[in-house]
A and B are shown apart, each in its own frame.
Chain A
């Protein structure tokens, strides 16, 4: 079995299908929906409600309570600014100012071309590298404004190239 097909078995539909009334399953199901689609759509909430019998309104209440869940899709590159204590005292504000300036988006926003989203996270566990930014799964530490600008511009170029090549295919 290739790893790709293996991953499919972890998808939201299968998790829903496997649901057999066990207690406390709502949050894992929501996590699975978000893992599969990148966000929690109204449709996903409807499905979960249908299968578990929990009212949509109650599910919605849980979704909005937890910071992890989002009801809108994120951009292709998610820029997470660490706002933990160490990063704060080491200049996280300068980091977010630079991103706002370079990408034209603020916290919790996604750029119009859907290439970038900016989020705030608390301590990502490498305070010795503060200030820290995580782009998708890549961590960048000991940042200065010029260093960060350079990194962001590389991502912009990458996004542009990817867009061009996908348009070329179409």
Chain B
């Protein structure tokens, strides 16, 4: 049962096509697992359709229709319009929209970088580094306690396996923690399963969010 959802303004921005690739990734992953937010995105897409319907029409070039009808023949010859099939999802609890950006094997392979305390991470490059948005998978061993910290820029954490808890409650598979105010957290990863999560953060390469201390160490 998912308890922590993505804010409506992020669902709306995603539906409007305004989110960065990394934020789109975490939204698409969450709405695979969460029917409530999926319904929210559908509602905001319906709104987009309605606004399109109500938008000011602009005259189309006179040759436009002829030009497109000419292109239909080539399409009929080449019927291969479906996107290539995704690779096999080797992770048990990870949506395919996310697993296709991960190494094609087990979580313990060398493609995942090792860090202190048995933590592993994998950076997903969706090409939005230039917008200062980043996506990173984290695998944290059981019972890891993190120091108190605050944060500045927005950070989204989607739990995929295991979970963590802090002063505000517990976060389990499917839950999203959103950090964009000056809260103080002391997250502890699940004592038996640890935590596998996707973290998306905006702003400078200085983490102050949930797993900020870990992420900062990893960036040194």
| Pair from one complex | no
